[in-house]
Amino acid sequence: AMDEENKRLLYPLGIPDAADPENQIIGKIKQQRNPRVFCKRCYNLMHKNRLPSPNWQDALVGSDTSFLKFLAKKPNSIVLTVVDIFDFPGSLLAHLEQLIGTRTRNIIVANKVDILPKDIHYDRIKNWLAFELNGLGFTNVMDIHLTSAVKNIGVRELVNAIADMRSASDDVYLVGCTNVGKSELMNSFLRTSAVGGWQHKVTASLVPGTTMGMLGLPLSIFNGAFGKTLGVKNYFQVSKHIYDTPGIVNESQLLHLLTHEELKLVIPRTKIKPLSYRIEPGKSIFFGGLGRIDYVYGNVPILFTIFSKIPVHITNIARANEFCDNIANGIQQSVIVPPVGPPERILSFPPMKTVRKRILVDGRHGGISVKDIVFSGVGWASISGTFENAELSVHSAGGKGVFLRHHPL
């Protein structure tokens, strides 16, 4: 039996209605020795990778982060703040420290490192993240870990670090936006700890916003198992929990504009291969229909290295303007995807809005990258070359999800 406190923690958004057919257990599937039990929602996610509702955006939890305030009252907790390294800082909860206070220990877990190009060194990424987090006002980060939940990279190191700082009475919370990989990380913890193969699995999916309540797993699952696999002591005590909190919908993320089919075109599944383009002044680069960078003014070509899975399209600024005007005027055109689908889809897609009219970049020191322009969740352009005082402008679908990084990845 769950006491009231536990119930409140497990379901900060309210206890699921058992009468709701979506929440009813629909079956047990025998897997190895352990039967698996699913509710309809999880079953649909696993087998169809989508929610039963055709319009999954209706099912999103909402962007209210206030429920995380309860963490401020639990200063013994360890918070694992999960971010998607491919969507940084877009996937970072900007005001997290205000919510959880500075007495709570916060570890940043930068997940999905498996998709970064292979020549980016982890130490460099960590230093870069520390620098960026500082610049974003995070003053209370205890540690930064790079992980890949799907490839089990860095997970043991993370678990050991938690074990080192954790005393027997401390809970651990996974916190982050939707789609950063919290559920997958939970699975990775379970995988690392399960003796004799998989014993539990948390539903992870491509669809943002699908961890509906807070999921608690006893930390005792780590007992002994980690001791065996890692050769470390039994750090985790019975009855304390590791919680996967509901993902927070970050309205600024561009991925929320996309359908399931379109997400497949955008979310990288394997290492991204950076592609460099020498761009002349007067040219425009489209990141599908989601983002656009114009090289408005300058004397020499600039090198744009694109880190994205999305098809880029390079054209003259005049043509780019014409294209965007046509869309805004309801004239349907093809080529630039996503959006993909019937004319209704293309025409109802949020048109490009100017986000930064004038960005000055200066590459007079040559060679090294001077700036990254990031389209949240879609990728980024790293700008380099030898040039002085060039001027760029940036547009994005609905004017969302654009970030500038001064010290590029």
Contact pick of 105, 145, 166, 182 for ligand GDP (by CB under 6 A): 182
**For residues 180 and 89, what is the distance between their CA atoms, to the nearest angstrom?**
12
**For residues 335 and 393, what is the distance between their CA atoms, to the nearest angstrom?**
22
Interaction between residue 204 and ligand GDP (CB under 6 A):
yes
Nearest one of 100, 41, 31 to 65, comparing CA atoms: 100
Interaction between residue 150 and ligand GDP (CB under 6 A):
yes
Cis peptide before 338 (omega within 30 of 0): yes
Are the C-beta atoms of residues 374 and 253 closer than 8 Å to each other? no
Contact pick of 77, 104, 106, 148 for ligand GDP (by CB under 6 A): 148
- In terms of CB distance, is 104 or 210 closer to ligand GDP? 210
Interaction between residue 289 and ligand GDP (CB under 6 A):
no
Window of 112-120, 253-261, 309-317, 377-385 that interacts with ligand GDP by CB under 6 A: 112-120
Of all residues in this chain, which one has the CB nearest to ligand GDP in the complex? 181
Interaction between residue 149 and ligand GDP (CB under 6 A):
yes
Window of 147-155, 215-223, 230-238, 323-331 that interacts with ligand GDP by CB under 6 A: 147-155
Q: Which positions from 30 through 49 interact with ligand GDP, judged by CB under 6 A? A: none
Interaction between residue 184 and ligand GDP (CB under 6 A):
yes
Q: Which positions from 374 through 403 interact with ligand GDP, judged by CB under 6 A? A: none
Interaction between residue 154 and ligand GDP (CB under 6 A):
no
- In terms of CB distance, is 59 or 317 closer to ligand GDP? 59
Interaction between residue 181 and ligand GDP (CB under 6 A):
yes
Interaction between residue 242 and ligand GDP (CB under 6 A):
no
Interaction between residue 59 and ligand GDP (CB under 6 A):
no
CB of 52 to ligand GDP, least distance (A): 17
Binding-residue total with ligand GDP (CB under 6 A): 20
**For residues 18 and 20, what is the distance between their CA atoms, to the nearest angstrom?**
5
CB of 268 to ligand GDP, least distance (A): 7
What are the tokens at 332?
A: 């349907």
What are the tokens at 176?
A: 């982050």
**For residues 343 and 349, what is the distance between their CA atoms, to the nearest angstrom?**
10
Instruction: Write out the residues near ligand GDP by the rule CB under 6 A.
Output: 111-112, 114-115, 148-150, 176, 178-184, 204-206, 211, 247
